[in-house]
Amino acid sequence: MASGNDKCRVFTTVSGKGGAGKSTVSCMLGVALARLGHRTLLIDADEGLRCLDLMLGVDGEVVFDLADVLAGRCEVGDAIRPVPAAKGLWLLPAPRSAGQIGEGLAPLIGTLREEFDRILVDSSAGIGQGFRTAAAVSDEVLAVVGCDPVSIRDARQVCELLRDITPSRRLMILNRFDYAAASRDLIPHVDAIIDATAMRLGGIIPYDPALARGFLRGTPVTRGHAWRAFVRVAHRLEGKNVRLPKLKRL
């Protein structure tokens, strides 16, 4: 829970199902929060499957990572890299192998609260120890949920587990929303998804293939439908009352 810099807020992205979009949401919200003027740190906690360094184009610069910091092999400042594509955004890369993140993450984040305004922790998929550790250190948990039945059922379970792990606010980010499929009733209605997951809606991100293309170049795409949806989520996280546009206009 909050300590040190009272201003700092820590968010963690979680999902039961892999590929739901946690890393995409973490990167894009990181860029959006940095653009709102917050010193923002992304922590890649998906140990063994690090990807944020590639997505943000800093893979060639990584010397030390989160495991090195936790094991005392380097100072945290030696591992954190500025993200060239986004002023005000930094990355702490993930360990190269699994099983490196443990009890040390909470005190480390306590220290980093002094240096940053916003911290986004990108966790590993599933409901194992990685999920628990990452969820426990956050002030707010962002559950990334796809519109398919498996994702929705997993999200319900994630939400129930979160209640036992942390009193933090839980927000659902409904990702890869496809209006064409929704209008033909091929996917559940948004209200039905909210009911089924028992979570508050933090935002709906449309399906947008440009997102993946941007990450292939190591440059987050800051235009288009998905980007505008991320900006709305960022504003909501900052307490602004931003209305959801009509689903057709997402």
> Which residues make up the interface to ligand ADP (CB under 6 A)?
15, 18-24, 125, 175-176, 205, 207-209, 211-212, 215, 226
Amino acid at 139: D
Query: Measured from the CB atom, is 122 or 208 closer to Mg ion?
Result: 122
CA distance linking residue 135 with residue 130, whole number of Å: 8
CB of 147 to ligand ADP, least distance (A): 10
Pick from ligand ADP, Mg ion, none: which does 208 bind, CB < 5 to 8 A by kind? ligand ADP
Tell me the residue number closest to Mg ion, measured at CB: 23
Residues 231, 198, 113, 45: what is their CA dihedral angle, to the nearest 10 degrees? -90
Query: Measured from the CB atom, is 45 or 137 closer to ligand ADP?
Result: 45
Residue 15 binds Mg ion (CB under 5 A): no
Residue 40 binds Mg ion (CB under 5 A): no
Query: Measured from the CB atom, is 9 or 176 closer to ligand ADP?
Result: 176
Residues 10, 121: contact at Cβ < 8 Å? yes
Residue 23 binds Mg ion (CB under 5 A): yes
Please report which residue ranges of 102-197 form alpha helices under DSSP H.
105-112, 129-136, 149-165, 179-183, 190-197
Q: Which stretch binds Mg ion (CB under 5 A): 23-31, 82-90, 136-144, 214-222?
A: 23-31
Query: Measured from the CB atom, is 8 or 55 closer to ligand ADP?
Result: 55
Q: Is 131 exposed, middle or buried (0-12, 13-18, 19+ CB in 10 A)?
A: buried
CB of 2 to ligand ADP, least distance (A): 26
Degrees to nearest 5, angle at CA 108 with 103 and 113: 135
Report the candidate in 10, 4, 236 with the shortest Cα–Cα distance to residue 134: 10
Q: Identify residues 94-153 at the interface with Mg ion (CB under 5 A).
A: none
DSSP H or E stretch at residue 236 = helix 224-237
Q: List residues near Mg ion by CB under 5 A.
A: 22-23
